[in-house]
């Protein structure tokens, strides 16, 4: 993980939005195209939720969760152009982090203000030259308010559930399309209604509805926004 936290002049592109809006894939491809670093902040929240589970910490015990947040090592290991592996306290947790159970734990701990505060500097440390693509819920509103451009990706809940269904198919997990839709709607509601850093587009964000759009088209639109950026 990058360590320099005082790089305020390094450009940051933020891509926020709900689960399944395509922001993970789009952010990674945009970062690759630009040759910039990539921060998957959702993976950080998922990793802390997972580590808390490993340690048997109750998801309502805020002070134990804060200690766990500071004590959990999360490394993103890049290999070629593949999705980075996420290593939590030395264990490759990439596959387990993608499960709905990990997502639900992440969403629960993400509602705790002290946990969010404990992750702030760690996220800002990813701002390294030549630039950063930061993907999450509050990248443009809280973590990098000076980012430019800011993008907010959305897609209908039905399409997001279908994308998730296609991602999970053949991975040996048991699920139904209806079940995934219910989980997505429940997580959206929890993320949007929490008191701290709720999921919402920054006032200066460009919203792109990806319903019916291919990934490549969205990537091109985002790259065009970066090219048109006014510093």
The answer to the question of residue 14 lying near ligand DC (CB under 6 A) is no
Residue 52 or 110: which CB sits closer to ligand DC?
110
Site string for ligand DC, 21-60 (x = CB under 6 A): --------------------xx--xx--------------
The answer to the question of residue 126 lying near ligand DC (CB under 6 A) is no
**Which range, of 69-77, 102-110, 158-166, 171-179, touches ligand DC by CB under 6 A?**
102-110
The answer to the question of residue 106 lying near ligand DC (CB under 6 A) is yes
Query: Smallest distance from the beta carbon of 227 to ligand DC, in angstroms?
Result: 25
The answer to the question of residue 107 lying near ligand DC (CB under 6 A) is yes
Q: Which of residues 62-91 bind ligand DC (CB under 6 A)?
A: none
The answer to the question of residue 140 lying near ligand DC (CB under 6 A) is no
The answer to the question of residue 160 lying near ligand DC (CB under 6 A) is no
The answer to the question of residue 187 lying near ligand DC (CB under 6 A) is yes
d(Cα 197, Cα 119) in Å, to the nearest integer?
13
d(Cα 190, Cα 80) in Å, to the nearest integer?
35
Query: Smallest distance from the beta carbon of 230 to ligand DC, in angstroms?
Result: 25
The answer to the question of residue 19 lying near ligand DC (CB under 6 A) is yes
Residues that bind ligand DC (CB under 6 A): 19, 41-42, 45-46, 103, 106-107, 110, 136-138, 187, 191
């Amino acid at each position: 993980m990058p360590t320099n936290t005082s790089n305020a002049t390094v450009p940051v592109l933020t891509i926020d939005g709900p689960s399944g809006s395509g922001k993970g894939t789009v952010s990674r491809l945009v970062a690759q195209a630009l040759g910039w670093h990539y921060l998957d902040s959702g993976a950080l929240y998922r990793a802390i939720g997972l580590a808390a589970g490993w340690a048997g910490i109750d998801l309502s015990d805020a002070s134990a969760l804060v200690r766990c947040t500071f004590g959990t090592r999360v490394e993103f290991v890049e290999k070629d152009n593949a999705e980075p592996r996420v290593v939590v306290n030395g264990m490759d947790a990439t596959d387990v982090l993608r499960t709905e159970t990990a997502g639900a734990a992440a969403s629960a701990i993400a509602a705790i203000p002290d946990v969010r505060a404990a992750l702030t500097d760690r996220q800002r440390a990813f701002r390294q030259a030549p630039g950063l693509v930061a993907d999450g819920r509050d990248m443009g509103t809280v973590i990098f308010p000076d980012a430019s451009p800011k993008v907010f990706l959305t897609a209908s809940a039905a399409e997001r559930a279908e994308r998730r269904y296609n991602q999970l198919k053949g991975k040996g997990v048991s699920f139904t399309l209806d079940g995934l839709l219910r989980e997505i709607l429940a997580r959206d509601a929890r993320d949007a209604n929490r008191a701290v850093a709720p999921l919402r587009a920054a006032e200066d964000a460009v919203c792109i509805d990806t319903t019916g759009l291919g990934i490549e088209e969205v990537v091109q639109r985002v790259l065009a926004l970066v090219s048109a950026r006014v510093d």
